[in-house]
Structure 1
Amino acid sequence: MRHIVEELVEKLNEVFEHLHANPELSWKEEKTTVYIKHLVEEYGVEVKTFPDCTGLIAEIGNGKPVVAVRADMDALSQEVDGVIQANHSCGHDAHMTIAVGVLFTLLKLKLSKGTVRFIFQPAEETGNGSLKMIEKQVVNDVDYLYGVHLRPIQELKGGQAAPAIIHGAGLFIEGKIIGEDTHGARPHLGVNAIEVGATIVELLKGIYLDPQVPYSVKVTKFHSGGQNANIIPGSAMFSLDMRAQSNNALQQLHSKVKHKINAVKSMYDVNIILRTIDYVPAAEIDKQAQAFMKEAIIQVLGKDNTVDPIVTSGGDDFHYYTIKHPNIKATMLGLGANLKPGLHHPKMTFDRKAILTGIEILTHALINTLNLPESHK
């Protein structure tokens, strides 16, 4: 198989360079959708797009089992050299290239049984792109689902890979303290929203869950007051970032946070409104899918470079697919690429040879899952 992937290097470099140079934000991946659509249609691949959202489905083969590969498409909005812009600092350009490479490789191998569906999914960074694909029923008949994500060098070195990424759950909330401004000389006539916010920060530090399960909650944004220093602000906006390694722990954390916020409301006799911005579930990894992926990693990198599943506090909306469809057997490949200084860093870099490695591993995983004849392996 390696010789097939090597024959594709020039084309894959072209694909990556284009995707990397043309990042698009969540739900705005119009040009990316068109580019991938035209790219795979040139090879006679059936493609489905959607009239009300970005993203696409490419499919080869027929019949059962149906095995899907998901690649996220969107870039981040962040400051790069002083300019706020779309930037592929999470590796989604690499993930799309890997999916394209797997598709091209399978076309050369010629499937003898089963269907492989490539889900080019929008809006992973906003945490709800997978829900849109689920709404489009793209995984209703899927038996196995595989994803891939480059890992920072702190987790995996180049030439290493893990058969699963055990992401934690994340809940992101926006809060609003509602009150009226008062004169700085008459603080007794109102409530200082900044003091309310400070109390929230302190009370959140007093939340305790099972210490065996990692969790955290923190205030990540607080805006209050205007230009005048002699006005006590009565209103403020803030945001909360809650994370836990399991879905159950996150539910417990959320409940305790709401209890603390209600205590602050009573303490200051002030109205505080909370609104959920986003939620990302923790990973639900299937042992059989993980076993197929582990076998594939060993086939490509050997046992010494096959690492145990990675536990990470980061999140990924990939896991919505199995939350909403528990019958799907899924796992995500953790791919070492000497990625540094870290994911979401504006100057993130990685060894592009990892793209070829990822293609080989995912292709082997698909073949293992489809149980193709030995001559195709």
Structure 2
Amino acid sequence: MHHLLEEARALMPRMTAWRRTIHAHPELGRTERETQRLVMEALSDLGLRPRACADTGVVCDIRGAGDGPFVALRADMDALPLTEATGLPFASAVPGVMHACGHDMHTAMLLGAAALLVRRADKLKGGVRLLFQPDEEGDGGAQRMIDEGALDGVSRVFGCHVAPESATGRVAVCAGRAYAASNPFDITVMGRGAHGAEPHLGRDAVVAASAIVMELQSLVSRELDPLEPAVITIGRMEAGTARNILADGATLQGILRSFGAERRRQLTQRIESVASMTAEIHGCEAHTRIHWGYAGVINDENETRFVRKCAVELLGRDMVGDDPPTLTTEDFGAFLESVPGSFWHLGVGRGGLCHPLHSPLFDPDEEAMPVGAAMHALIAMSALEERRGEGV
């Protein structure tokens, strides 16, 4: 067994206590006060000097003996607006809020990595910056941390996410395009109301909105290269006041997920034009508001090979694999737009018995936490021992 993994296993009682405390007291984005307090107290107990960032986040430096660059490690801390149904003894004590995406484990594992790295601070050829990010699920806490200088002096950045579909302790990475960019959008359709017996006197916003929904689907199927993944989802439609009255207005809420800046620009422009033209065909008007959501997670090829190398060193080749790209989204992409790095996955699948992310029954295998802590520490130590791109 690798010595780092052995030491991380000895930290299991502490990591379990951190994780279960955070799990039992989940906090939504921008409200992570108690989680922030726990993290800062744990880091202070290690002799470190954490500081608040982005209001409810935490930044903490572990300085080595030399004047080398900083490598950043990130964990997110916020929970989801979900009612837990696991029945665990440490289940959420907060009605309607749950850690169903593993951020409690992410935080505990990075605290474990901090304990491992503090023991080796005098051997670090540079520094390690720990980023405990707020509001990953909401409005993009990563960018707020960056705006407050969280990446100043950082040359490389790494992060991980638990993967319930993967075997416990298995590490997987995806080079290049890993997570999609997202653009939520709202379309307001304006028609003219009329009695259902006299439809010729009105302009039916429901018919126009329905046509917009159908036309938007053809953007992906007929205007994109079939090898360019993208998806447009209309998840909500509201219209009308009575069964026998033509609606004078309708609203659509949807989201675009895509890879690549050019495709993103193309599709956002076309969503607006298709909505406007389709509404006009039906005698209505449409106004579209497109929000610029998360950036895609584009893993640096060299850094991804480096992460894979670290995983093989720690676990052996049989416990390391490759992940396909996904059209889900992740706020880590904002960090990767600023400095090179890679985002990897850690299996918590409990032999295939773990429910998926964002499920009220999500119960990841805590036995993966020593692997996560040791991986964080090994990545940071190894990254400081080499110039970017060499030896990977």
TM-score scaled by length of structure 2: 0.87
**1:291 partnered with 2:295:** no
- The residue aligned with 1:74 is 78
Q: Which residue of 2 aligns with 1:28?
A: 31
Q: Partners in 1 of 2:105 and 2:358 — Cα distance?
A: 14
- Which residue pairs with 1:104 in the alignment? 115
Which amino acid is 2:205 matched to? A
Residue of structure 2 equivalent to 1:308: 322
How far, CA to CA, are the matches of 1:111 and 1:296 in structure 2?
Answer: 21
Matched AA of 1:297 = A
State the secondary structure of the residue aligned to 2:29. coil
2:26 is aligned with 1:10:
no
Matched, 1:119 2:119: no
Does the aligned pair in 2 maintain the 1:283–1:319 contact within 8 Å? Answer: yes
CA contact (8 A) 1:173 1:239 kept: yes
CA gap 1:110/1:80 in 2 versus in 1, 3 angstroms: closer
Distance 1:312 1:151 in 2: 12
Matched-pair contact (CA < 8 Å) for 1:293–1:362:
no
Task: State yes or no: 1:128 paired with 2:140.
Answer: yes
**d(CA) in 2 for partners of 1:18, 1:296:** 30
For the 8 Å contact 2:30–2:56, the answer to whether it is kept is yes
**Separation (CA, whole Å) in 2 of partners of 1:309 and 1:371:** 27
Q: Output aligned runs, 1:167-182, within 5 Å.
A: 167-182=179-194
1:216 aligned onto 2:212: no
Residue of structure 1 aligned with 2:96, choices 58, 82, 85? 85
Aligned residue in 2 for 1:55: 57
Partner residue of 2:294 out of 280, 305, 321: 280
Query: What's the counterpart of residue 375 of structure 1?
Result: none
Task: Flag structure 2 segments of 5+ consecutive residues without an equivalent.
Answer: 86-93, 387-392
**What is the TM-score normalised by the length of structure 1?**
0.91
Q: What is the distance in 1 between the residues matched to 2:233 and 2:329?
A: 16
> Counterparts of 2:236 and 2:378 in 1: how far apart (Å)?
44
- Higher relative strand content: 1
CA 1:79–1:195: 2 relative to 1, 3 Å: farther
Q: Is the 8 A contact 1:75 1:92 kept in 2?
A: yes
Q: Distance in 2 between matches of 1:84 and 1:250?
A: 37
Amino acid across the alignment from 1:222: M
Say which SS state the counterpart of residue 78 (structure 1) adopts: coil
Determine helix, strand or coil for the equivalent of 2:218. Answer: coil
Task: Tell me which residue corresponds to 1:147.
Answer: 159
Deviation at 1:284, TM superposition (A): 2.1
The sequence identity of aligned pairs, in percent, is: 25
In the alignment, the residues of structure 2 paired with residue 318 and residue 22 of structure 1 have an alpha-carbon distance, to the nearest angstrom, of 24
Q: Distance in 1 between matches of 2:77 and 2:244?
A: 48
Distance 1:239 1:79, change over 3 A: farther
Return the alpha-carbon distance in structure 2 between the equivalents of residues 247 and 347 of structure 1.
36
Matches within 5 A, 1:321-360: 321-323=335-337, 325=338, 328-338=339-349, 340-360=354-374
Instruction: Give the 5 Å matches for 1:216-295.
Output: 216-226=231-241, 228-295=242-309
Contact kept, 8 Å, 2:187 with 2:275, in 1: the verdict is no
CA displacement 1:31-67 (0-9 Å, x = unmatched): 21122112211222111114x6211111111532100
- In 1, Cα distance between equivalents of 2:231 and 2:288: 18
User: Residue 190 and residue 78 in structure 1: after superposition, are their counterparts in 2 closer, same or farther (change >3 A)?
Assistant: farther
Q: Could you tell me whether the CA contact under 8 Å between 2:8 and 2:371 is conserved in 1?
A: no
8 Å Cα contact 1:127-1:278 kept in structure 2: no
Aligned-residue offset at 1:343? 1.2
Work out the CA distance in 1 between the residues paired with 2:48 and 2:15.
Answer: 17
SS in 1 for 2:234: strand
Distance 1:322 1:240 in 2: 26
- How far residue 182 of structure 1 moved from its aligned partner, in angstroms, is 2.7
| Contiguous gaps of at least 5 residues in structure 1 | 373-377
Give the 3-state SS of the residue equivalent to 2:321 in structure 1: coil
> Equivalents in 2 of 1:279, 1:292: separation in Å?
29
- When the two structures are aligned, how many residues end up with a matched partner? 364
2:217 counterpart (184, 187, 205): 205
Counterparts of 1:132 and 1:85, CA distance in 2: 26
Aligned-partner Cα distance in 1 for 2:122–2:202: 71
Residue 170 (structure 2) aligned to one of 160, 174, 182: 160
- Give the SS at the match of 2:349: strand
Structure 1 residue 137: Cα displacement: 1.5
Change (3 A) 1:47 1:321: same
Q: CA deviation at 1:158?
A: 2.2
Aligned counterparts of 1:210 and 1:111: Cα–Cα separation in 2:
52
C-alpha separation between the residues in 2 aligned to 1:152 and 1:312? 15
